[in-house]
Structure 1
Amino acid sequence: MKQVMTWLVTIIYLLKNGCDEMLEPYNSVDWLAPRFCLGYINYNTWKGALMATIDQRLLAASRMIIPGGAVADIGTDHGQLPCFLLEKGLAPQVVATEWGDGPYQRAREHIETSPWSDRIAVRQGNGLEALAWGEVHTVVIMGMGGDLMAEILRRDWHLTSSFARLVLQPMTRPAVPRLLLAAKGWPLIDERVVRSRGRFFVLFSYQPGDRPYRLSALELEVGPQLLQARDSIELEYLTYCRRRLKARCQNLSLSKQPQNQSKRLKYELMGRELEEIIDGKSG
């Protein structure tokens, strides 16, 4: 009965969403796709497994880690990223952490039913405190606000500095971790934007360094590499950022407080600078 249900839910999903996006990560190893999609999806975990194949954020993060090195996924949720990394052979082992009791238990339950449970250590801890010094090569933090990310990194900088790479995907205020890492002298390795379900998500990766540098207000807001608009989706993202800056200016124009008018002028200048970049790339 479970096998029948596996086939049914997979066929329904494919009919509804199409095959291309789901199987895109496996184009180089086509024979692996049906094994992952059907052989490894059981009645209880099929939804999480399917999400691991189609979430563009997971794909982007998997391409930004140090291949072949141990990885820590901070705030792992259902453990989709650890399972994906192990299934693709990108990491030999993964540490998956959660802080709250409920999220931690859910993560354990999902990971224990996966084929890779023996290579995923599920731990409960606040931020990086569940990790030992230098235990992993790459630390991934996704789906949190930028303020919380910066707080996690700042809390024990000696521990943070023991990892060879950070991969971050802030849901809000990306300028905050960018500013922190620039002040600490950590160089930016890569910066990407993906679009999933009608929303843009920004990811960036850093490595340890000791030469602090400054970023402009626009670089902090949008991202120094993304401002280069290297492809169509990055150009679309810049256009989205321009609209967002314009909306902020309109909202602040309604305020009579001097500090808000200063912010409005700042956003107007950033918007004009961004518009020039967009026009240059579009032309």
Structure 2
Amino acid sequence: MHDDVHTTGSDDAAATGPGFDPEPVPDPGGALPATFFDPLRRRIEPWLPTRAARAWFGAFAALVVVHLGAHFVGPVRVAGVTQWLLVPLLAASLWCAIAAPRPRLAVLSVLALLCSWAGDTVPAFAPDAVSFLVLMGLFACAQAVYVRAFAPFREASVLRRRRGVVVVYLTVYAAVVVAGLVSTLRWGASPTWAAAAFVAGLAVYGALLVTMAVLATGVDRLAGVGGALFLVSDGLLGVGQVAPQVIGALPRGVFGFAVMLTYLAAQTLIAAGVRRRSVGGHT
């Protein structure tokens, strides 16, 4: 018995001797704690509640980085091809983020995104002489669908609450149409039908775009910001048509980057606002 006591005491002394750490240090090469990403997960899940929605949006975000970077480095073709894939990923994410039965707002917004996808894709295969008109036509369809989706929320929009904002939007619209008219005066060698179609298309598309941006403010604050950014993005495209020499003087990639950054931000914010309104919460 004496021997047992003596042995146990020696073991305890050795265990508590100099250099002993009673709490083992985790292996630096081991896996991260299961709760490491909890703060990030708590922020993401209200917006992307399903695994499918998160997967689609993750693919969208990764491709956005590749696409925007391709405007500055790499073959120009990379920016064009990646543009064709972006909006379908966002549409899939929005669809999966809202449970069935999906409200009319969500269904029409996904349809508008698909029309936008056509606008991003089809003009690349159209003859140069009509590619911009094709682009305007397809995006006019997208804006018309957005207008139909957002119309039930017009009572909460700036159309009723802040008409000064509407005046600003209309002023921008008028300026763009006038600039388009002025630009046709420099189309001396162009066919008359092309100039007329350009101005008419610009007027119709601009009216739909401004209407969408105004009505989006009634859906959700994020959707309203997205609508305003859509105006900025398409305004930049308009500058490219009216004053190509100004765009040509910019460093490589700057113009395309600015257009696509504002466009993708607009679509993303509109989708976020639609999702929040569709599940019953909005600000």
Q: TM-score, normalised by structure 1?
A: 0.27
Structure scoring higher RCO (CA < 8 A, sep ≥ 6) equals 2
Higher strand fraction: Structure 1 or Structure 2?
Answer: 1
Higher helix fraction: Structure 1 or Structure 2?
Answer: 2
